Structure 1
Amino acid sequence: MTWQMWLAFLGAAWVISLSPGAGAVASMSSGLTHGLRRGYWNILGLQLGLLLQIAVVAAGVGAVLARSATAFTVIKWFGVVYLVYLGVRQWRARPADTETESPTRGGSAPALVLRGFLVNASNPKAVVFMLAVLPQFLNPAAPLVPQYLAIAATMVTVDVIVMTGYTGLAARVLTAMRSARQQTITNRVFSGLFLTAAAVLATVRRAATV
């Protein structure tokens, strides 16, 4: 991968990460509920899911997923159900007394990592999208492993920066809220975003992404 090709991919990575999606919603939800510091556990999980997606594409499994209607459908509906579950949990989340209760409530580090991982890992659309995009930045005449490592490092770095921004923005909202009504409304908004992401994923068809 030449420097020119890497710079082109770097621009694409920013566009991909900044695009609103389930990962951004999960990051903002974590920032809102747990604050920025603990929100990094969710970001770690998102990056593990992202690395899995890249590994799937690099191993050629992504092409199998793109061709298999059954595999695509199973993973897609798992993702839909999980996003709905997150939406219901966010809807039912209790407002906290910001003067007496810490934003670290209700979420262990492993649970936040797993949550972030599942959000990204259960999105077959992202795998098929990467399958279509990543090869455009590869030099087939050069060793592929170093190129995929460069792609993975670039995407993870950019995504950590972007998701930190989303998480930090939501954490600022958390510190500004004082009334239970404000927190309840915000929780309902994020619940709606999770459910919207689930609805969008449910409409994805394999034929439309290949």
Structure 2
Amino acid sequence: MALSTWLAFFAASWAISFAPGPGAICSMASGLKYGYRQGLWTIFGLQLGIQCQLFIVAVGVGALLAASDTAFNVVKWIGALYLVYLGVKQFRTDAMPVTVEAGQPLDRHPVRTQILHAFLVNMTNPKGTMFLLAVVPQFLDVSRPLALQYVLIGATLSFTDLIAMSCYTSLASRMLLLLRKPGRIRWMNRGFGSLFILAGTALAAFSKS
């Protein structure tokens, strides 16, 4: 991959990473609930999802999603239902007063579950796979080893997405000190829950055409 080509992809990656979507909602919800440091595990899970999606595109499975309406719809509805599930769960979360300092975890939520939730948010979103399938090939140089180019693309996407999701997580975690009353927490949970449900609804309405 030529330097000029990589720079073009690097610029595009910033727009991709900061674009509001399920990942950004997941990061903000995690930062609000756990604080910035604990929220980093959610960001890690999101990166695993991105890398798995890129691997799917690299091995050609992404082409199956593009060619098969059945496969695409199955993945799409799994992703949509999972986002709605997260939204309902967040919406119904108890309004427990926040009594810790910003940046500290609010509970002992299992890290592996936190990572898994974030991973599934990205992995069950066929829009991400379709996007990578449409965009990534434009930056590949078929006259050079593809494996190394995919590694570079994956590293670039993770770098920009780590920064973007860190910004979303940090922004949300700074709101912790404002949450001293159950009423505020309840409405905040409902707000993020509604965003998850909205994202799931938008995903359900997404079409390849």
TM-score (norm 2): 0.95
Task: Tell me the equivalent position of 2:3.
Answer: 3
Task: Tell me the equivalent position of 1:178.
Answer: 180
Give me the whole-angstrom Cα distance separating, in 2, the residues matched to 1:111 and 1:192: 22
Which residue identity lines up with residue 172 of structure 1 in the other structure? R
How many residue pairs end up in the alignment? 207
1:50-69 aligned at under 5 Å gives the runs 50-69=50-69
**Percent of aligned positions that are identical:** 47
* 8 Å Cα contact 2:28-2:172 kept in structure 1: yes
Task: Tell me the equivalent position of 1:122.
Answer: 124
Task: Tell me the equivalent position of 1:70.
Answer: 70
Task: Tell me the equivalent position of 2:115.
Answer: 113
Q: CA deviation at 1:144?
A: 0.5
Deviations 1:50-74 (A, max 9, x none): 0001001111111111101111111
Deviations 1:159-196 (A, max 9, x none): 01110110111111122221111111111110110011
Task: Tell me the equivalent position of 2:142.
Answer: 140
Matched, 1:131 2:122: no
Q: CA deviation at 1:126?
A: 1.0
Change (3 A) 1:106 1:203: farther
Give me the whole-angstrom Cα distance separating, in 2, the residues matched to 1:200 and 1:100: 35
Which residue identity lines up with residue 168 of structure 1 in the other structure? S
Task: Tell me the equivalent position of 1:99.
Answer: 99
Give me the whole-angstrom Cα distance separating, in 1, the residues matched to 2:42 and 2:100: 24
Q: CA deviation at 1:106?
A: 5.8
* 8 Å Cα contact 2:100-2:106 kept in structure 1: no
Deviations 1:27-58 (A, max 9, x none): 00001111111111111110000000100111
SS of residue matched to 2:97: coil
Deviations 1:66-95 (A, max 9, x none): 101111111111101100110011111112
Task: Tell me the equivalent position of 1:199.
Answer: 201
SS of residue matched to 2:38: helix
Q: Structure 1: any 5+ residue segments left out of the alignment? A: none
Q: CA deviation at 1:96?
A: 2.3
Give me the whole-angstrom Cα distance separating, in 1, the residues matched to 2:106 and 2:149: 39
- Please provide the CA RMSD for this pair: 1.3
Deviations 1:115-169 (A, max 9, x none): 0000000011110111110011111111101100000000001101110110111
Q: Structure 2: any 5+ residue segments left out of the alignment? A: none
Matched, 1:24 2:44: no
Give me the whole-angstrom Cα distance separating, in 2, the residues matched to 1:159 and 1:27: 11
Q: CA deviation at 1:205?
A: 1.5
* 8 Å Cα contact 2:98-2:106 kept in structure 1: no
